[in-house]
Amino acid sequence: MPLTPPSPTTYLTDTLGVLTNVQAGALESQLAAYDTNTGHQVFVWIGNGPEAYDPPQTFAMRAHAAWGVGDPPPENDGVVLFVFPQVEKRWITVGYGLQAAIPDAEAARICVEVVAPKVQANDWAGGIGDGVAAIIADIQAWEQ
């Protein structure tokens, strides 16, 4: 059975160091403040794979469930943006409590149209930051 990485202890896990310390610190602060202000948890996980695991989406869904991101049911309001640089894949998992805000088609659009262009141009901070901003904007629009 494929392994699942340990539960994150911070909102940003960058196992590959694609972000500078300054970029990582700024994103971590933004995600922590968002959780504090709204109660919704948004995480970013950047790592190798999923050649050691299985398809990116299967790995991402298994990790999201194992980590218990977001408040427990019925809220289940956590989101994780996964970035797999080696296989040039991105995937967003959304807890059931926020699926109306970020349905599968919107999650795919964010990965393809928002994150991918900048990441493919080696602007990791820009692509990931824009992806997080799009996730947060979708949640805010849904809550209004």
Q: Which CATH number does the domain housing residue 139 bear?
A: 3.10.310.50
Domain presence at residue 4: no
Task: State residue 51's pLDDT score.
Answer: 61
The model's pTM = 0.93
Structure confidence by residue, pLDDT tens digits, 29-46: 999 999 999 999 999 999
**Total domain count, the chain:** 1
Mean pLDDT confidence for 42-62: 81
Indicate whether 1 belongs to any domain.
Answer: no
Q: Region 67-93: what's the mean pLDDT?
A: 88
In a domain? residue 131: yes
Residue 52 reports pLDDT greater than 60: no
Residue 84 lies in a domain: yes
Q: Which percentage of the chain shows pLDDT scores above 90?
A: 71
pLDDT in tens, 94-112: 999 999 999 999 999 999 9
Is residue 6 in some structural domain?
Answer: no
Distance CA 127, CA 71 (A): 27
Does 119 map to a domain? Answer: yes
Range of the domain at 28: 12-143
Start-to-end C-alpha separation, the chain = 42
Q: State residue 28's pLDDT score.
A: 98
